[in-house]
Structure 1
Amino acid sequence: MRALIRHLLPRSLTGQMVGLLLLALALSQAIAFVVVSDERIVMLKGAAKEEFLMRSASTARLLEATPPALHAEILRAVGASYTRYWVATENTTDAGKWTREAWNQLAEGMMTRTRHGHPIPDPLADGWASWIATAAAATNAAAWRDLPPRAGLFTGPARFLYLEEANAMGLTVQLGDGRWLNAFFAKRMPSMWSSQSYLSLGLTALALSIIAVFIARRIAQPLQQLGNAAEKLGRGEDVAPLPERGPLDVRRTAEAFNRMQTRLRRFVEDRTRMLAAIGHDLRTPLTSLRLRAEFVSDEETREKLLSTVEEMQAMTEATLVFAREDATGEATRTVNFPALLESTCADLADLGWNVSFAEAEPMTYRCRPDALRRALRNLVENAVRYGGQARVALSQATDGIEITVDDAGPGIPDCDLDRVFQPFVRLEHSRNRETGGVGLGLSIARSIARAHGGDVVLANRSGGLRALIRLPRSA
């Protein structure tokens, strides 16, 4: 259930803000509806009761002031679709019997109302069956209660009856000639919801949605820029400083990102310069050692010293090349990625290496092509040198792309699969120390892949070793 709710909820900031504001609007309207509805019902009932009593009192005075021959016409004229008046010679104390008579009087009056000899349609006529059933249920709890004397309202005794469920009320008041005037009022309460209510609610929701979209976009746009810049920075691209605008919290976040980017760039530059300086400064003592080794009289000792110096010289030169290329700062651009890999493999095959590339579907990728070319060349070189061949393939994964380099060598122990990525590490048993290399190839390849937001991993497989370059999808 929670997974379904999370799936249905909007994921974007704009969608969530619009949804929350509309939910708040619905809750506020519901609360206001409950409160206003109660107050409105109380006011309407009070106004209806006051009008009913005043109209009944006027009718009673009119009957007392006119001849009895006109009473039937007067009662028919003062009646309405929701009010009926009739005169009885005797008063009844049975509220149930009187109520049933009142409903019949109201129904009969509605069915017989005419104007100029034509019946007048009434929208309440279709609902009389349900009204009568409601009245019968309400009658059980209804009871007469005497009305207190009111100055100038009724000249004789009066009793009042109220039917809560049907929003109906009855009145019986004694006239001057001893007869009783009976009055009955029943009217459906108007609905709180009308076309104007729906229109008002719709316009309010539209206005809130527009405001929410504007506010959310004002917040989301800088956050989206921050996310894109962080992704590019993680892939090693040059990122321009973010514009520091928007709300205070967002502006402070952009300022913190810009400061972090400046510090990271300064740290990498300082470390690269230091590495290049160390490699450069090592050249002088290495040259001095080479000259002194030449004067060693023992030939075997001299050869060992010169071999060690040459190895140190090769490591130093490799370090300088790595530092120099890292400091160059190659620009990121979009390339035809399969063509880049295929051309690299073709160049190495022209050198006599046993390299092949499996055909792949065309795709574009945003990267630093020279750096990735070097990473692939290092992996292919290791595969050919220690496994006799390199089979390169490109495939798409769920979260990015993968480049596999398979060889046909003996593989390496599982405990060394990650250790070989450390700088200047060479395995004694599975990798012959005298075949060349200083142990920086895998380190450089992983460094390049991680600078693109990916990684390089090794895995033993049936019949050889697999080097896998994982790269994230291009933005």
Structure 2
Amino acid sequence: MNRFWAKSLAAQIIWFMLPILLLAQSIGFLVTADDRAAELREIALDEFVVRSATAAQLVDTTPSAYQDTLLNAMATNYSRFWLSPDGPGDLEAWSRDAWHRLHLPLRQGTSATPDAPSGPWGSGDGSDNEWGTTGSPVLESTNRTKDADWQPIELDSLDRPTPAQIVHLDDNYGAGLVARLSDGLWLNAAYAKPPKKFIWTSPSTVSLAITAIMLSALAVLVARRIARPIRRLTAAVESLGRGEQNGRIPEEGPDDIRRTAIAFNQMRERLTRFLADRTTMLAAIGHDLRTPITTMRLRTEFIADTEVRARLLDTVNEMQAITDATLELTQEQSVDEPTRPVDVAALVESICEDLADLGRDVHFAESGVIPYRCRPEALRRATRNLIENALRYGDRAQVSVTSSPAGVDIAIEDNGPGIPDKEIERVFLPFVRLEASRNVRTGGIGLGLSIARTVARAHGGDVILSNVPHGLRAVIHLPPIPGEFAKTEASDAA
């Protein structure tokens, strides 16, 4: 799971898209919340004006003894109505009185008293409410829109329009209204609704969660669709790097992926054709060289001088050995052998047993079963070359095979003189020998290490040389087999 979130293409798409979604949704919520608030303010103000007009009509047609009771009955959680003999007068004083009445509880037939119980927003003194947290300031002009003033309007009536004045009490939904009635009294109306402190309501949160889930699912599907041809291409590249010929990969998918598949198929065909042409050419050269070498050997046999004849035959034999070794190296680089699962430990152990049967001092460290998909004959040849090199320059060879998440290592240690550090890379070049006599019997042709490294690199690995306190250590490192290859190994080993 950690690997999925750290390295998966789907996870990366999700991590890129979710913050963008959150930002877009936040901006959208802010914009829509502001528009919605403006619409709600207009609706609330219209409703307040209509309700005030209704209150004015009812009061005009109701006996004075019942007018206060009527207005108390018309009050709501967010509106209050009351009568006064005088007009609005000072706006600051009227605003304080309006806020005070809005904080009183709904109780039909009662008047505003300072010690009344708690109202819709808290206590009557404003000490505990949504508009403020300390005492009387909540009832003062700080709750009135700055620079607001009475604006004249007319309330619709059945017989005649009623002149009135309206003012905004705050920046949210608060408004105040006064209207002169036909009997000379003034109808006072105040409306205020506490603002919502958070725009993240339950519906918006659910909407965001549903959108995020749907977007994540879509990102997973898109990423899997994109990654499928990439995984196929990766497997094909790994296969080609190991010398397997698995044919062309499908040239399908988006244009970029399809062009990549086409380019890979063309590259594979060109490499295969190049290696085949080079192998054919070198094989032809080797075949052509055998004829003059055979002719030279026959003519050498007719030389009367025994010492001269022996030297010439040695030269001819060396030429023959070099030609054969060159063809062998070319064949290794052509990667003709198919890969298959084998037990690497058993393969290396059989080489050690064969050499031990010939009287050579070779010791193999038991390591259990180590399955690996490789070209077994090529790997056998590379391992044997390194073991024979160890025996040639030392008295014995210690061989071991280890497996780890980093791959498979075939290690060969000898007790020989080692190699100078500056020469370690140079000895991998073809026909390079550190043995000064240039004698084939003592120093070989100089292709053993070249062939071993060619085989290892054809498997995607390498040959690593390092000096140890009492000799040289050579390691054939084979990389781990990813994806489908690992599954094949596990099934074959089972």
TM-score (norm 2): 0.85
CA 1:302–1:132 in 2, change beyond 3 Å: closer, same or farther?
closer
Task: Tell me which residue corresponds to 2:395.
Answer: 388
What secondary structure does 1:334 align onto?
A: strand
Kept in 1, the 8 Å contact 2:10–2:220? The answer is yes
1:211-270 deviation line (CA, Å, top 9, x unaligned):
222221111000011111111211222222111111111111111111111111111111
Distance 1:46 1:217 in 2: 50
Q: How is 1:362-381 mapped onto 2 (pairs within 5 angstroms)?
A: 362-381=369-388
What value does the CA root-mean-square deviation take over the aligned residues?
2.9
Q: How is 1:143-162 mapped onto 2 (pairs within 5 angstroms)?
A: 145-150=149-154, 152=156, 158-162=164-168
Q: How is 1:157-168 mapped onto 2 (pairs within 5 angstroms)?
A: 158-165=164-171, 167-168=173-174
Kept in 1, the 8 Å contact 2:172–2:195? The answer is no
Matched, 1:224 2:246: no
Distance 1:430 1:155 in 2: 127
Task: Tell me which residue corresponds to 1:21.
Answer: 17
Distance 1:446 1:340 in 2: 18
What secondary structure does 2:103 align onto?
A: helix
Moved more, 173-182 or 304-313: 173-182
Matched, 1:269 2:276: yes
Matched, 1:90 2:96: no
Task: Tell me which residue corresponds to 2:179.
Answer: 173
Task: Tell me which residue corresponds to 1:57.
Answer: 53
Q: Choose which of 233, 238, 244 in structure 2 pairs with 1:237.
A: 244
**How far off its partner does 1:152 sit?**
4.0
Distance 1:113 1:275 in 2: 116
Task: Tell me which residue corresponds to 2:34.
Answer: 38
Task: Tell me which residue corresponds to 1:470.
Answer: 477
For residue 313 of structure 1, what is the amino acid of its counterpart? Q
1:74-123 deviation line (CA, Å, top 9, x unaligned):
20222111111011122343334333322332233436699xxxxxxx99
1:307-351 deviation line (CA, Å, top 9, x unaligned):
100111112223334445665722212222222222221121111
What secondary structure does 2:418 align onto?
A: coil
Distance 1:8 1:241 in 2: 29
For residue 187 of structure 1, what is the amino acid of its counterpart? K
Distance 2:412 2:437 in 1: 18
Q: How is 1:30-429 mapped onto 2 (pairs within 5 angstroms)?
A: 30-110=26-106, 124=120, 129-133=128-132, 135-136=138-139, 138-139=142-143, 145-150=149-154, 152=156, 158-165=164-171, 167-189=173-195, 192-324=199-331, 329-396=336-403, 399-429=406-436
**How far off its partner does 1:142 sit?**
5.1
Kept in 2, the 8 Å contact 1:280–1:320? The answer is no
The runs of 5 or more residues in structure 1 that have no matched partner are: 1-5, 115-121
Distance 1:281 1:236 in 2: 29
For residue 161 of structure 1, what is the amino acid of its counterpart? V
CA 1:399–1:34 in 2, change beyond 3 Å: closer, same or farther?
same
Distance 1:412 1:132 in 2: 87
What secondary structure does 2:473 align onto?
A: strand
What secondary structure does 2:168 align onto?
A: strand
For residue 213 of structure 2, what is the amino acid of its counterpart? L
What secondary structure does 1:18 align onto?
A: helix
Once the two structures are aligned, what percentage of the paired residues are identical? Answer: 48
For residue 380 of structure 2, what is the amino acid of its counterpart? R
User: Number of residue pairs matched?
Assistant: 463
Distance 1:182 1:136 in 2: 17
**How far off its partner does 1:140 sit?**
6.7
The runs of 5 or more residues in structure 2 that have no matched partner are: 111-117, 483-494
Distance 1:394 1:427 in 2: 28
Distance 1:124 1:219 in 2: 58
Task: Tell me which residue corresponds to 1:453.
Answer: 460
What secondary structure does 1:293 align onto?
A: helix
What secondary structure does 1:131 align onto?
A: coil
**How far off its partner does 1:188 sit?**
2.7
Moved more, 254-263 or 414-423: 414-423
Kept in 2, the 8 Å contact 1:335–1:369? The answer is yes
Task: Tell me which residue corresponds to 1:118.
Answer: none
**How far off its partner does 1:146 sit?**
2.7
CA 1:181–1:369 in 2, change beyond 3 Å: closer, same or farther?
same
